[in-house]
Amino acid sequence: MKKDLLCVSDLEPASIWRIFKLSDDESSDQKPLQNKNILLFFEKPSLRTKVSFEVAINQLGGSCLSLADLEIGLGVREEIRDVARVLSSYVDCIIARVFSHQRLIELAQYSTIPVINGLSDEAHPCQALSDLYTIWKKKGELMDLSLSFIGDGSNNVASSLILACSMMGVNITIASPSEYCPRKDVLAKATRLSEASGVLIKVTDNPEEAARLADVLYTDVWTSMGQEREKEERIKAFSNFQINERLLSLAKKDCLVMHCLPAHRKEEITDSCLESPNSIVFEQAKNRLVVQRGILVYLLT
């Protein structure tokens, strides 16, 4: 049966460990994606996700083609269920970045090939997988670490991190203004997942409290793609939720600073924190390529 990756919780913890192992596997020069054609379909801009997937596909011996929104007209020029069935007869996998997660679910439902979420309004699973891989590599373990996400707890990156941490044994604290707290459905799912892993999940509107707990301080933009009209009100609401030197000084000395990028410097994170010795943001970005290879091999071979 084909496997999709729309949401981190499509996987089991054992499958995530398998993806990490496959990501590390540089031993053979075989080309596991030889004769596979993969379509990248992006409705929004992307640097890391698009380039790392394209390079990963080439490194693994596959071919990729890339289309922008208007070229397919998903759900506009023709219905998603028709697009899904036609594409399934041409290519071996679809990687899609879309505004609406529901459209991705429909695309996957009618496709007979794997569909990978390259970011939607609800989730960014490939980012969260690669972030946990990075933390594992830096700290040598995941169990019992604490990640504090400061900022928009309701966004795609926060949602995927909450689920990934809940599955993989990383305690997670979300500090956000109450109107941007984590989605109820995500928290409910994470609570169920944490019953097996024993993870502690905390939601607070106090960034200092979250920083004191942190082995990893993580943030993302306050205004995600598609929310640009809300920018001014968001800047006001999040002004107390910036990762800056004061907040970093409250965290453990060896606390890692992470950001999925792109960063809006001077909003959610200061230049000095992004450039500090605690920051691993560029190593984090580099690992997107490493883990995309693991994801592709896991889903397609």
Residue 156 binds which of ligand NVA, ligand CP, none (CB < 5-8 A, kind-dependent) = ligand NVA
The verdict on 255 binding ligand NVA (CB under 6 A) reads no
Asked if residues 207 and 219 have their Cβ atoms less than 8 Å apart, the reply is no
Our answer to whether residue 97 is catalytic in this structure is yes
Binding window for ligand CP (CB under 6 A); candidates: 45-53, 61-69, 100-108, 265-273: 45-53
What burial class does residue 165 get, using C-beta atoms within 10 Å of its C-beta: 0-12 exposed, 13-18 middle, 19+ buried?
buried
Q: Residue 227 interacts with ligand CP (CB under 6 A)?
A: no
Site string for ligand NVA, 212-241 (x = CB under 6 A): --------xx--xx----------------
* Helix residue spans in the chain (DSSP H): 13-24, 48-59, 69-72, 80-88, 101-110, 125-139, 156-168, 184-197, 207-212, 231-237, 245-250, 271-274, 281-300
Which residue in 111, 156, 173, 278 binds ligand NVA (CB under 6 A)? 156
Strand, coil or helix: 93: strand
Q: Tell me if residue 185 is catalytic.
A: no
Residue 43 binds which one of ligand NVA, ligand CP, none, with CB within 5 to 8 A depending on kind?
A: none
Query: For residue 11, what are the contacts with CB-CB under 8 A and spacing of at least 6?
Result: 5, 19, 167
**Cβ closest to ligand CP, residue 18 vs residue 50:** 50
* Residues at the interface with ligand NVA (CB under 6 A): 119, 155-157, 220-221, 224-225, 260
Catalytic site positions = 97, 124, 127, 220, 260, 288
* Residues at the interface with ligand CP (CB under 6 A): 46-50, 119, 127, 260-262
